[in-house]
Structure formats: C-alpha cells, structure tokens
Structure 1
Amino acid sequence: MGGRRGRLITQDLRDLAVSLLDEAISDGARRSEACNVMDISVRTYHRWSDSSCGDKRKGAVKKVKRKLAEYERQEILRIACEDRFVDCNPYQIVVTLLDEGVYIASVSTFYRVLRDADMIHHRKRSYPARKQNKPPELAATGPNQVWSWDITFLKTDVNGIFLYCYMIVDVWSRKIVGWEIHESESSELAEQMFRRLKIIHKLEGIRLHSDNGNPMKGGTMIMTLYALGVIPSFSRPRVSDDNPYSESLFKTLKYTAGYPKYFKDIHQARVWMADFVNWYNNEHKHSGISYISPAQRHCGDGSEIMEKRNKVIRKAISKTPERWSSDQKIWEDQKHVYLNPSLETKKQLISA
C-alpha cells in the first residue's frame, strides 16, 4: 500500500486493507505492527475505517447525503408548474401542500430548484429590488460645516390646508441657522431662501443634507446650491433615519409647550416661529450637546461651560467625598458629530 503521498487509493483497496487489518488484529496482532506491514499509519487505518470517508481532495466529486435525487427535483418542478399554482410563490405552494398532508421540500429548496431551472422571473410590471446605497458619512468638527434641512407642514384652522416651514439646522451646534414659512413647498422658494442665507453666512464648502423631496432635488435647486458653493447630499427614499437631526428638531418643535394646534394665518405662524427659534437657539438646554444652548455651542463656549461644571462638581466632592462614587459624571464637550456614520465609525464611538 506504500507509495508517494497524495496518490489516490481506490475505495475497494481501502476496504480490502481494512478487512485484512481487522482480521490480523482480531487474531492477536498489534495494530501498529499490522499497519507497518501494510505500509500505512495507524491514523490512516482509523480514517479508512470510517465509512463516511471518501475522496476529500479539492474538486473531487463528493456524495452529499442531503442532496436531492434527480427524480425529486423533477417532482418539485412538476408540482410548481401545476395549473393551480400558476399564481403562487413557493411559500404558498409549500403551505398548500402541508395543509393537504404532503411534504415535498422546504421553501428555500423550491426556490433553489426553480432558480436552477431558470424559472424565477419578475413579471412584466414588477421589478427586482434595488439596493439603495447609504448616503455618505458626514463629519463636523465645528459650526457651519454640515447643515441639515427639511420642510414640515403646519396645520391651519381650515381642514386640508397647510403652511410649510422650511428649516435649516447646523448639525454640529444644533442651531437653527435659517427658517421661512410659506403657503406652498417648491424648489423656487427654497432657492430664494438659500440665496438670502448667502448674505448672512459664508456658504462655500458647507455640506447640506436633505431627504428626497421634490423641493430638495429640483434641477434648478441643485444648480443654485452648486453656484453658492454648497455640496448637497440626499437620504435614501423613505428612510427618515438618514436625516435624523431635522426629524428630531421637528419633533421638538411640535411637542414643545405652547405649540398651537392650528395657526389662523401665515402671519401668526411666522410670529410664533420667530419666538420658538429664539428660545430654541438661546435658551433651550439641548440633550444632544450636553445640555447647553445651541447658540452657546455655535459660539464655541461649550468647553468653558463644561470645565466650569466639572470644577463645581470637584468642589462638591472635596466637601463630602463619602457621598460620591469613583465614577462620577465628567462633563465633556463633544468634538466630533457624525451624520450617517459608517459601521466602523459606530464601533469606534461605542468603544470610546
């Protein structure tokens, strides 16, 4: 049985060698000595004795116990092509058979066999699912680097008639940097708003994120943004999580105390919104930026405020140290803010 390593020894020769070795061992021979006579190792004897052992070389034809026989595959195809299943998918076929007390194969097996037979197709008016690429990761380390904007409706006292609030928020500081209220939503009004913002802010290089609404993706709107030096990015269709800062702002807006259920007219809406924006920017203690106001963070006062808080805590600890644990809260000013962070960035933020 000896020879170079790696050469194939047929199953018949293996079975013969194993039977001769078993006979010698049963007659009193030592296993190692009997294997030496056959010029094989004890380990090889054990491997050959395993009935499931076959040709394990790469690319060799292997016998899979769970593999369907050809007649079973043909039976699946025959059943799937029956007239009563002409409008049924494999899920419906399998459960129908189960209700009849018949089991042929699993749903995934039906799909696999039908796919191999080129019988899985989308109908004329349906299209295969398309993967929507996630919007790019945007990182802000200071104000006026990344903005987010959206439009929300405001109810009036006439059922079915709404006002529309255009609002832009700085992602890093959460400050509302621009807002307007109109009686309609259109890309033309959005263009005019950003042109007016050009007077107040330096827009060149700002990354502006929004959803996929028509006012945001109008052809002239996008050209206006590029002309102003603004770089737009967009959420995936029907994925609100891609624009979380605007969505969070609108929730704060509509759940704040004093928010009217209805607005009588556009003048009342603009007056109320001006008061809200002033409160939100200058007085609101925002939980996402360590409970300072957006205006304080936008002006760069966050680090000084955090240090002052920590100083007060250290002073309180020195007076009554027995009341404090070793892991008391340390106030920190968040240096980096991410919009649509990648999986790697999320892991880094969690481990930090």
Structure 2
Amino acid sequence: MDVFSRKIVGHEVYETETGELAAELIQKACWREHLTDRHKPLILHSDNGSPMKAATFLEKLYDLGITPSYSRPRVSNDNAFAESAFKTLKYRPGFPADGFATLAEAQDWVQQFTEWYNHEHRHSALRYVTPSQRHNGEAKGILTQRREVFEAAKQRHPERWSGDIRKLSLPDVVHLNPERDSVPQAAGL
C-alpha cells in the first residue's frame, strides 16, 4: 500500500509465505506502478515475518533501490495504514465468515476488493476521493471543484451555515510514524 495515496499497489494470495513469492510481488508492483522510474527514495514498511527478512526478498529490495523498514516490537499501531485496510477488507460485504473454499476463490475475492478499494472506495482520510484519484494526482482538482461548490452554496444560503465550509485539502506529506514534536515535561522534573 502506498501510504501517501492509500492505494493498494500490489497484492497476491498464495497458500504459503516465502521470500521468493514476496520478492515476486514487489517486482510486479514496481513494474506495474513504474516505481523504478522515480527518483524519490522508496521505503517498504512490513512486519517482522520471515518472508520479509528472507535473503531473496532483501536482495530484490536492494536491486530495486527500496529500503526495508520493519514494525517495532510491541508497538500495536506501527503500521496503522495496513491494519486499517485489512479491517476494511474483513468487514466488506461479501467477505466469507467461514473462509474461502478454494485458493482461486480467495484470489478472485481479493482482486475484486482491490479494484473496489482503489477505484470506488471514497476514503474518509482522503476527504472522500478514491486512493487511485489521490495516487494519480486527480485529488487536488476534485477537491478544488468541491470547495467551489460548497462556497457557492454558502453564498446562496448563508443561513444554512454556522461556520466555515468543511476542510477540503489534503496534506502534501504523509508520515507512517510521525515523531512527536515535543513531549510536555512535568513541572520541576
């Protein structure tokens, strides 16, 4: 998942987890998203599972110019973006409560979910644009147009508004784990 846009840029469902399969997934995602053409540093944040630390996987990251980053032990919200996406997946209508009958059924369901999530799901943290709209640079134009509609509505009927129009902008930078600016100190300590 791209943290900036919340777009799922790569997904696969396998019967097993291996470093080789993880490396293949990353390679496909980089090709599909043209990530090898970018000059910005890429960081892949993952859990501490053995496939994510396998030599084959780490070699692939190195070849692609991607820096690995891992969840910190005993930090429950260290990858909140991924956890949120998994919750959305599990609570999506149609997710089978008793599991999938076959691997192919699981793969099809995840493919359909990913298409919906990226292209139809209006993400609340993205001011209700889709992850693909944010990823493709369309979000600012959409939000500018929405702001104009809200401002015109407020001018026509100011009695319907008790304050400003809703916030319709997105941050230019997104952090996985932002550092605290400052921690208040207890007096006299």
Tell me whether the two structures share a fold, i.e. TM-score over 0.5. yes
Tell me, yes or no, if the aligned pair for 1:289 and 1:334 is still in contact at 8 Å. Answer: no
TM-score, structure 2 normalization? 0.88
Do the aligned partners of residues 312 and 191 (structure 1) sit closer, same or farther apart at CA in structure 2, a change above 3 Å counting?
same
Q: 1:323/1:215 Cα in 2 relative to 1: closer, same or farther (>3 Å)?
A: same
- With the length of structure 1 as denominator, give the TM-score of the two structures: 0.48
* Deviation (angstroms), 1:323: 2.1
User: What are the within-5 Å matches in structure 2 for residues 290-329 of structure 1?
Assistant: 290-329=127-166
Q: Secondary structure at the match of 1:245?
A: helix
Per the TM alignment, residue 325 of structure 1 is displaced from its structure 2 partner at its CA by 1.9
Q: Distance in 1 between matches of 2:178 and 2:150?
A: 33
Which residue number in structure 1 is paired with residue 9 of structure 2?
A: 177
Aligned residues: CA RMSD: 1.9
Q: Which residue of 2 aligns with 1:189?
A: 21
Q: Which has the higher contact order (CA 8 A, sep 6+)?
A: 2
Q: Distance in 2 between matches of 1:332 and 1:228?
A: 33
Deviation at 1:346, TM superposition (A): 9.8
Match of 1:244 in 2: 80
Asked if structure 2 preserves the Cα contact closer than 8 Å seen for 1:240 and 1:247, the reply is: no
- 1:270 is matched with which residue? 107
The amino acid that maps onto 1:174 is: R
Q: Find the counterpart in structure 1 of residue 51 from structure 2.
A: 215
- Structure 1 345/293 Cα, relative in aligned 2: closer, same or farther at 3 Å? farther
Q: Matched residue of 1:240: which SS? A: coil
Q: How many residues in Structure 1 have an aligned counterpart in Structure 2?
A: 179
State the Cα deviation string for residues 207-240 of structure 1 (Å, max 9, x = none): 1111111111122321221111111111112423
Q: What SS does the aligned partner of 2:122 have?
A: coil
Helix, strand or coil: the match of 1:269? helix
**Conserved 8 A contact 2:19-2:52:** yes
CA distance in 1, matches of 2:183, 2:173: 12
Which residue number corresponds to residue 344 of structure 1?
181
Q: Structure 1 residues 199, 324: CA separation in 2 closer, same or farther (over 3 Å shift)? A: closer
CA distance in structure 1 between the aligned counterparts of 2:143 and 2:4, rounded to whole angstroms? 16
C-alpha deviation, 1:267, in angstroms: 0.7
Partner of 1:202: 35
Identity rate of aligned residues, in percent?
45
> Unaligned 5+ residue runs, structure 1?
1-168, 348-352
Q: 1:202 deviation in Å?
A: 2.0
For the Cα contact (< 8 Å) 1:173–1:298, is it kept in 2?
A: yes
Checking the alignment, whether the CA contact within 8 Å between 1:190 and 1:215 is kept in structure 2 is yes
**In structure 2, do the counterparts of structure 1 residues 324 and 280 end up closer, same or farther at CA, with 3 Å as the change threshold?**
same
Q: Counterparts in 2 of 1:1-352, with a 5 A limit?
A: 169-200=1-32, 201-203=34-36, 205-261=41-97, 262-344=99-181
- Residues 198 and 332 (structure 1), Cα distance of their counterparts in 2 relative to 1, 3 Å cut: closer
Which protein shows a greater Rg? 1
Distance in 1 between the 2:111 and 2:176 partners?
27
Q: What's the CA shift for 1:271?
A: 1.1
Deviations 1:98-132 (A, max 9, x none): xxxxxxxxxxxxxxxxxxxxxxxxxxxxxxxxxxx
Query: Could you tell me how far 1:306 is from its partner in structure 2?
Result: 1.0
Asked whether the 8 Å contact 1:211–1:237 carries over to 2, the reply is no
* CA apart distance, 1:249: 0.7
Distance 2:22 2:100 in 1: 22
How far the C-alpha of 1:316 sits from its partner, in A, is: 1.1
Separation (CA, whole Å) in 2 of partners of 1:317 and 1:195 = 49
Deviates further, 193-202 or 305-314: 193-202
C-alpha distance in 2 between matches for 1:172 and 1:216? 22
Distance in 2 (alpha carbons) for counterparts of 1:235 and 1:259: 27
